[in-house]
Amino acid sequence: MGVSTALFLARGGARVTLIDAATAVCAGASRWNEGKIHLGHLYAGDPSLRTAHRLLPAGLAFRPLVEALIGGSLAPALSPADDWYLVHRRSVVDADTAGRYYDAVTTLAATHPAAAGYLRPLGNARVERLTARELDAVADRASIVAGFRVPERSVSTRWVADRLVDAVAAEPRIDTRLSTRVTGLTTGPAGLDGPLTVVTAEGAEGPFDAVVNALWDGRAALDASLGLAVPAAWSSRYRVAVFLETTAPVTMPNVVIVTGPFGDVKNYDGRALYLSWYDAGLLAHGTGPALPPVPALDEAATARLADEVVARLASLLPAVADVPALTASRQVAGGWVVAAGLGPLDDPASSLHRRDRLGLTRHGRYLSVDTGKYSVAPWLGRAVADAIL
Ligand SMILES: Cc1cc2nc3c(=O)[nH]c(=O)nc-3n(C[C@H](O)[C@H](O)[C@H](O)COP(=O)(O)OP(=O)(O)OC[C@H]3O[C@@H](n4cnc5c(N)ncnc54)[C@H](O)[C@@H]3O)c2cc1C
């Protein structure tokens, strides 16, 4: 979010200081996530379609905006096949209702004026219900009751992050301050309507004509320190997944087990895989603006976590059991997921099934931006930069 905003601002003529507590930009959740470029299919738990309407324009704009930011094609980063949404028997949305929801979202996407920008052509896109034979070939049928092929794709977020790092380094109007933690903001007599100074653990930066809070996990705490409202229902989850490379090509489909706290398999190019199981990868969970502590994982704990992810997925998708023997390299990594919403994902009433409450809040020259989703960041970054320019 911060990198997209900074690049759009710099290319619009502004001088930008990009501050990050990490030792590199793009080292947080935006490097270590599944990279699903949402059209809205995942949010069948929000039948109002509000989430789909909110995520759709951003997902359709992702490819052209990122290609402009990195100055090249996104093609090498794209997952080559549509996602299979497999409905778990404990899904909070039954299979027929989910199927109707996927149809509605697909129609919204295919008829949207910006549809041509998506990662795959959407002109004739439709949802296909998987046949019994297709399901039998991949899934444990005692747990998976139905499946749908939906026209949603993903990107390799590590590939994108590497190109964004290069784009920032090549941009003369961006000054980057790494290993610099933002702790507050000071104002002059005009308050948030005047020049703003950013307070960091190392000193101060500024004054600036405008400050964008794109701190994601650190955003709510900074807003709260300025006396700005943070949603009463606010949750922070630290989630990790398994990113691995195989020694030989694997033919596994891209699978999302829905709807609830289940898992995903992403097969980016036959050799680079993403495996996640929600409960196994949830390392910390808290509510309110302060973040809960994240336990450090030593080598043994990391290996146990990866084994559990594989075992839980393999109990539903037997082919996953073959992956460990084919693994060339493996990394367990992830980041924060912060959101306006509360409640466990196996509860249909959880407000986390609704993910439309994201975006920009503006107080004078201070702009606070809730990314919401990776797929939204470039689109929102463009909007934040436009608001400032
Ligand atoms: C396992 C997992 C899977 C996911 N899958 C998907 C998916 O498939 N599709 C999707 O759209 N979204 C997905 N998400 C969500 C997505 O990753 C996030 O919504 C998105 O990356 C947030 O982008 P960001 O730039 O706001 O945050 P980040 O990329 O985390 O960047 C925030 C930056 O702020 C810095 N920072 C924080 N606090 C401070 C401070 N006080 N001072 C200085 N710097 C600070 C951090 O160091 C970091 O560099 C997933 C998330 C996880 C964890």
Contact indicator for 25, 176 with CB cutoff of 8 Å:
yes
What residues form DSSP beta bridges with 336? 238
Residue ranges for the chain with pLDDT beneath 70: none
| Host domain of residue 88 | 36-155+232-356
Q: Which of 69, 216, 275 to mutate to test the pocket of ligand 1 (most atoms within 8 A of CB)?
A: 216
Let me know whether 55 and 180 are in one domain.
no
Let me know whether 272 and 363 are in one domain.
no
pLDDT tens digits, one per residue of 77-89: 999 999 999 999 9
Let me know whether 213 and 99 are in one domain.
no
What residues form DSSP beta bridges with 264? 256, 276
Let me know whether 48 and 137 are in one domain.
yes
Can you give the pLDDT at residue 202?
A: 87
Let me know whether 345 and 366 are in one domain.
no
146 Cα to the center of ligand 1, angstroms: 32
Helix (H) / strand (E) containing 279: helix 278-281
User: From the CB of residue 55, how many other CB atoms can be counted at a distance below 10 Å?
Assistant: 26
Let me know whether 244 and 328 are in one domain.
yes
314: closest CA among 153, 143, 146, 145? 143
Can you give the pLDDT at residue 184?
A: 97
SS3 content of the chain, % helix, strand, coil (to 5): 35, 30, 35
Let me know whether 348 and 361 are in one domain.
no
266 lines ligand 1 (CB under 6 A): no
Let me know whether 14 and 50 are in one domain.
no
The CATH number for 350's domain is 3.30.9.10
The CATH number for 208's domain is 3.50.50.60
**Ligand 1 atom having least distance to the Cα of 370:** 26
Can you give the pLDDT at residue 42?
A: 98
Let me know whether 263 and 151 are in one domain.
yes
Let me know whether 278 and 325 are in one domain.
yes
The β-bridge relationship of strands 282-287 and 234-246 is antiparallel
What residues form DSSP beta bridges with 241? 333
Contact indicator for 374, 347 with CB cutoff of 8 Å:
no
338 Cα to the center of ligand 1, angstroms: 8
Let me know whether 168 and 151 are in one domain.
no
User: Burial of 335 by CB count in 10 Å (0-12 exposed, 13-18 middle, 19+ buried)?
Assistant: buried
Let me know whether 29 and 54 are in one domain.
no
* Number of separate domains in the chain: 2
Can you give the pLDDT at residue 129?
A: 98
Q: What angle do CA 16, 165, 186 make, to 5 degrees?
A: 30
Burial pattern 223-257, b for ≥16 Cβ within 10 A else e, equals beeeeeebbeebbbbbbbbbbbebeeebebbbbbb
